[in-house]
Amino acid sequence: MASVYDVASVAKLLPHPLRTAIEGLSQQSQKSIEEIRLRALRPLEVIGIRDYARPLVAIEHLRHVMSAVTGSSYYAVEAQLRYGYLTLPGGHRVGIAGRAVIDERDQIVTIRDIASIHIRVARQIVNCANHVAPLLLDDWGQLQSVLLVGPPLCGKTTVLRELARLIGNGELHPKLSVRTVSIVDERSEIAACHEGIPQFDVGQSTDVLDGCPKAQGMYMMLRSMAPQVMITDEIGSISDVKAVLDIARAGVRFIGTVHAKSLEDLRQRPALRTLLTHGAIDRFIFLSRRVGPATVERVYDRQLREVKQIGSDSVANRWS
């Protein structure tokens, strides 16, 4: 399967001792990198591979990276930092931790004294959703509304991006024609837009609203783009769920992701519990990394009955 992957642009953000550790890896090892984690006065940590140099991360190294990711203008992105992350061109996400600055209303204004930086490397892997695609169709071959459920780093967003491409190109199934797709990409991780243009292939009939809060963006796209399919990542708030319910009432299919490991996890979150009872989601597909990224663990229908995985040749798509 084809992979669009750019670890070199991420390595350039690092100071020389850390960049050397990444650039010294084999090409295959570099392609396996999922996250680069920097913590003050602790060794470099690279998620996705086992054998690599582990130089100590100095405070000056963290300052170097923050200067690189903010374009040497920390204050220009200070408002964004209160969410704990920045999104870079190419869809790479830089998560940060340090000292939170709180205002008089107990709201986080920004984060200072950065002590941890986690860089999640974005990549597009064409054909990585072949084992999931059949699960999106009902017995008559019609597209259903689907929620991809799983813990962080199990491959949800990578699969979601590929599903958008397949649906927007009319390639999901031979009997399913092209659908008009709207993506609300709040964190710029699905389409990786730069100056409004998707850097990843998300389909010819796909429109992207980048950097907009999910609930607000879904209503905007519903009114302005008249989509047949709405796609977004990491729903979780009450406003997100309300928007999904309204989209279902409008006859638009929804495909999204959520962080959880089980049905019980979903039931423990009041906002998401609503999705289990209102019938807006036709399929709940639970993913893990048990035998590789995007391992399909369980599939449930809208009545929360387990569905036999007809048409899915394997539970895991081994793209690593």
Torsion angles phi and psi, residue 263, rounded to 5: -60, -35
Q: Are 48 and 32 in contact (CB under 8 A)?
A: yes
List the structure tokens of 285: 């597909």
Shared domain for 81 and 129, answered yes or no, is no
Which of 97, 120, 143 is the endpoint of a domain?
A: 120
| Domain membership flag for residue 318 | no
Shared domain for 34 and 162, answered yes or no, is no
Shared domain for 194 and 291, answered yes or no, is yes
Rounded to whole angstroms, how far apart are CA atoms 295 and 150?
Answer: 10
Containing domain of residue 170, as a range? 124-301
Shared domain for 83 and 155, answered yes or no, is no
Q: CATH no. for residue 95? A: 3.30.450
Helix axes 270-277, 238-249, angle to 10 degrees: 20
Q: What is the pLDDT along the chain (320 residues), one digit of tens a residue?
A: 444 557 888 999 999 999 999 999 999 999 899 999 999 999 999 999 999 999 999 999 999 999 999 887 777 777 778 888 888 887 888 999 999 999 999 988 889 899 999 999 988 899 999 999 999 999 889 999 999 999 998 999 999 999 999 999 999 999 899 999 999 999 888 998 878 899 899 999 999 999 899 999 999 999 999 999 999 999 999 999 999 999 999 999 999 999 999 999 999 998 898 989 899 999 999 999 999 889 999 999 999 999 865 444 445 554 54
Shared domain for 282 and 190, answered yes or no, is yes
C-alpha neighbours within 13 Å on the C-beta side of residue 109: 8
Rounded to whole angstroms, how far apart are CA atoms 150 and 302?
Answer: 18
Shared domain for 192 and 139, answered yes or no, is yes
Q: CATH no. for residue 279? A: 3.40.50.300
Residue among 290, 284, 278, 275 nearest 307 (CA): 284
Shared domain for 115 and 134, answered yes or no, is no
